[in-house]
Amino acid sequence: MSPQQNTPPTPPGRPDRGPKPVHDAVMCVAAPSLAVSAGHGQLLGHDLDGFYQDGRRVLARCELRIAGSAPIPVQGRLVTAGRARFIAVVRTGADTGPDPAVTVERVRTAAGAERITVHNTGPRGLRLPLEVALGTDLADLAAVASGRPGPDLPASVCASGLRWSRDGAGARITAHPAPDSALASAGLLRWDLAVPPGGSRVIELRAVLEPLPDAPSARSPGAREATVPVLWSAAEMSCDDAGAEALLGASLDDLSALLLRDPAQPSDLHTAAGAPWRLGLAPADALWAARMLLPLGTRLAAGTLRTLARRQDPGSGRIPGLLRHAGPHLPPTCSGVEATLLFVTVLAEARRWGLPEREAEPLLPAAERCLRWLFTAAGDDGYVPDPAPGGPARCEVQAHAHRAMLHGADLLDAYDRPGADSWWERAAELRRAFREDFWLDDRAGGRPAAALAPDGRPAPHLGSAAGHLLDTGLLGGGDLAEGLLDKVQTEQLARLFGAPDLDSGWGLRTLSAKAPGHNPFGHRGGAVRVHETAVAAAGLAATGYEKEAAALLRGLLDAAEAFGHRLPEMYAGEQRAVGRVPAPHPSACRPAAVAAAGAVHLLMSLAGVRPDAPERIVAVRPMGTAPLGAVQLSGLRVAGEPFAVRISRLGMAMVEEAAPGLQFGA
């Protein structure tokens, strides 16, 4: 399955019913591996159940029975992004009252390991027969997701376990200690456990995908090794809201689970887009994640930029990307347009945060190729169509293009390359035109059009994508760039984002509840997409609309609590009300790189740190309303050195740690 598709392909002759629901699944992720099961922990071979490695299901069934019965499930939950814990109890004839003496703990990792511990808390020793029924089809994840799993494969007994083979690949399950017996025809491993009073017995299983001796390796060149370095600092947050601290920790854990190496240069890492559908490189998502994590260091940005520079079309300058659904009112959008424009911004802002010149300058030719594509893609009116050519001019794409023009000019100036003046001028022309052509006046104060059709007709509906108009980008001296909207228009957009048709109470809807075709479960038709709400909230805070920013911040924090502080890619845009919690979207990626990075970005916006490492300047402009009370952020990185800041309950900032010689701006 292509890693950039939002949903698996539909097989010929099958109605498109969308991907299998995963909202209530327990998913462990260590890209490109994952494990999926229901909350009871049994792998039954249903839906997406199984261990997956490199997009192939290594194990579909792993059913545990003790004393002839399945344990009674009590709890199943993630411990970390890559590890889950399931607790169950077993009733035996030795139980003399209502309390079961035998408990079973299963600790599962995404990489294919499971540790089964049987505890006997009773006063007498027990002899318990334990069996594990195993099976697989070695099917591709795309086939499983679209309802086309393969047939169960026959097993054979191997040392300490079982193995299966199909299409040049094999799966092997090994157990420690070795089973007392193995039955290949039924896929069974059996133990006769003697568990002393107050004692435990442990069985460890490991599932491995391996090539057959006469077949090429089935292992993906981008596969995770035993250890993957963490590319950002160990950020810590202390504040009056414990939920914010939990969200930061869980989001960074999710991002660590999504790290992948570039097969062309294994030292360069980037994030996968999300699990289970997009567990591979999606350029726009990877760039967003890298950009939003810049306060924690530039290593992820550097690896992502180098990876995408290698994939850039040298002729056109475009970075590849697939079409994706854009809601009920607009045709599909091309993620490659967004990625090409975002590449320039990530390079320019990474340099401001402290990307060393020895790493930044070699990436400048790729950024210049992106600018060349931007020059050729823009129409006679100066707007960038998406998809290009022939698509509508979307408001958020013009925001990306405007930011790329400014950042492109900034980079060209910094390296004394020609063309900077023309890009400053083109950005100014785009601002003038946008404020007139895209703004739709009405009695309520007006609104930005979602898009202009090729013939100039506006699409009047409004959604969270307009939040990108507030994301103007970081330039020199710790200053934010001028945006496409003027001051009055920005104030009106802030007012619109505070209205209940857009703010669900748990984040911004992708389409106003007043718009025709609104659907609270629509990807672009009314659901809440976390990273767009985070972008809007950070933009509102930066432009001084702190009341509206704080409402969105609080909404996402409350939603995160309902999801165990691990925000999914999106969730239903139903209106918040007493007694409700946000409804999960059945096909949302969880974890998702842009959601996890968006949560980090949102929390970092509290401090408003804006550096200019080349000029040795940093400005700290926190939210004066201090919506989470006193906040202390440590483990940030500015100019390659640790940075820590404390915000008082009065919204005053104090830098507690910084690189030597760093000047503090207003």
- Across the range 28-33, mean pLDDT stands at 95
User: What confidence tier does 210 reach under pLDDT thresholds 50, 70, 90?
Assistant: confident
Check pLDDT > 60 for residue 8.
no
Whether 352 is in a domain gets the answer yes
Of 588, 605, 622, the position where a domain reaches its end is 605
Helix (H, G, I), strand (E, B) or coil at 286: helix
pLDDT at 89: 97
User: What confidence tier does 666 reach under pLDDT thresholds 50, 70, 90?
Assistant: low
276 Cβ contact partners less than 8 Å away, ≥ 6 residues apart: 22, 27, 34, 36, 48, 52, 141, 145, 589
pLDDT tens for 83-129 read: 999 999 999 888 888 899 999 999 999 999 999 999 999 999 999 99
pLDDT tens for 619-641 read: 999 999 999 999 999 999 999 99
Whole-number Cα distances in Å, 579 to 553, 575, 582:
20, 12, 10
pLDDT at 9: 40
For residue 85, what is the domain's CATH number?
2.70.98.40
To the nearest 10 degrees (0 to 180), the angle between helices 283-292 and 530-542 is 40
517 and 457 fall within a common domain:
yes
User: For residue 432, what are the domain limits?
Assistant: 236-605
Is residue 92 within 8 Å of residue 128, measured between CB atoms?
yes
Of 605, 627, 643, the position where a domain reaches its end is 605
pLDDT at 544: 96
Check pLDDT > 80 for residue 221.
no
Check pLDDT > 50 for residue 531.
yes
**What angle is formed at CA 533 by the lines to CA 257 and CA 79, rounded to 5 degrees?**
30
10 Å Cβ neighbour count for 14? Answer: 10
Measured over the CA atoms of residue 544, residue 548, residue 552 and residue 553, the dihedral's sign is positive
207 and 277 fall within a common domain:
no
Whether 349 is in a domain gets the answer yes
pLDDT tens for 312-363 read: 999 999 999 999 999 999 999 999 999 999 999 999 999 999 999 999 999 9
Whether 383 is in a domain gets the answer yes
31 Cβ contact partners less than 8 Å away, ≥ 6 residues apart: 224, 257, 258, 259, 260, 272, 275, 279
User: What confidence tier does 522 reach under pLDDT thresholds 50, 70, 90?
Assistant: very high
pLDDT tens for 31-53 read: 999 999 999 999 999 999 999 99
pLDDT tens for 546-562 read: 999 999 999 999 999 99
204 and 245 fall within a common domain:
no
pLDDT at 214: 54
pLDDT at 17: 56
Residue 471 in tokens? 């994301």
244 and 184 fall within a common domain:
no
510 and 372 fall within a common domain:
yes
10 Å Cβ neighbour count for 290? Answer: 30
Counting DSSP H helices and E strands in the chain, the numbers are: 13, 35
202 and 270 fall within a common domain:
no
pLDDT at 217: 46
Whether 571 is in a domain gets the answer yes
402 and 502 fall within a common domain:
yes
User: What confidence tier does 1 reach under pLDDT thresholds 50, 70, 90?
Assistant: very low
10 Å Cβ neighbour count for 516? Answer: 9
pLDDT at 223: 45
242 and 207 fall within a common domain:
no
User: What confidence tier does 229 reach under pLDDT thresholds 50, 70, 90?
Assistant: confident
440 and 333 fall within a common domain:
yes
pLDDT tens for 399-408 read: 999 999 999 9
Q: Are strands 188-195 and 102-109 parallel, antiparallel or unpaired?
A: unpaired
Whether 320 is in a domain gets the answer yes
> Of 592, 657, 660, nearest to 235 (Cα)?
657
Whether 492 is in a domain gets the answer yes
For residue 591, what is the domain's CATH number?
1.50.10.10
Share of the chain above pLDDT 70, in %: 95
pLDDT tens for 377-389 read: 999 999 999 999 9
Residue 313 in tokens? 């079309």
Of 564, 587, 605, the position where a domain reaches its end is 605
176 and 299 fall within a common domain:
no
> Cα separation of 280 and 425, whole Å?
38
Residue 285 in tokens? 């998502």
Amino acid at 433: A
pLDDT at 227: 62
pLDDT tens for 251-264 read: 999 999 999 999 99
204 and 242 fall within a common domain:
no
Amino acid at 88: A
Check pLDDT > 80 for residue 177.
yes
The three-state (H, E, C) secondary structure of 559-612, written as one string: HHHHCCCCCCCEECCCCCCCCCCCCECCCCCCCEHHHHHHHHHHHHCCCCEEEE
Q: How far apart are the first and last CA of the chain?
A: 50
Range from 86-100, 424-438, 563-577, 583-597 carrying the lowest mean pLDDT: 86-100
Whether 364 is in a domain gets the answer yes
pLDDT at 167: 83
DSSP code string of 172-240: EEEEESPPSEEEGGGTEEEEEEEE-TT-EEEEEEEEEEEE-TTS---S-TT---S-----S---EEEES
pLDDT tens for 58-94 read: 999 999 999 999 999 999 999 999 999 999 999 988 8
Q: How many domains does the chain have?
A: 2
199 and 323 fall within a common domain:
no
- Across the range 433-441, mean pLDDT stands at 97
Q: Which secondary-structure segment (H or E) carries 310?
A: helix 299-311
> Of 140, 102, 133, nearest to 118 (Cα)?
102
Over the chain, what is the mean pLDDT?
93
Whether 192 is in a domain gets the answer yes
Q: Which secondary-structure segment (H or E) carries 163?
A: strand 161-166
> Of 272, 333, 335, 257, nearest to 304 (Cα)?
272
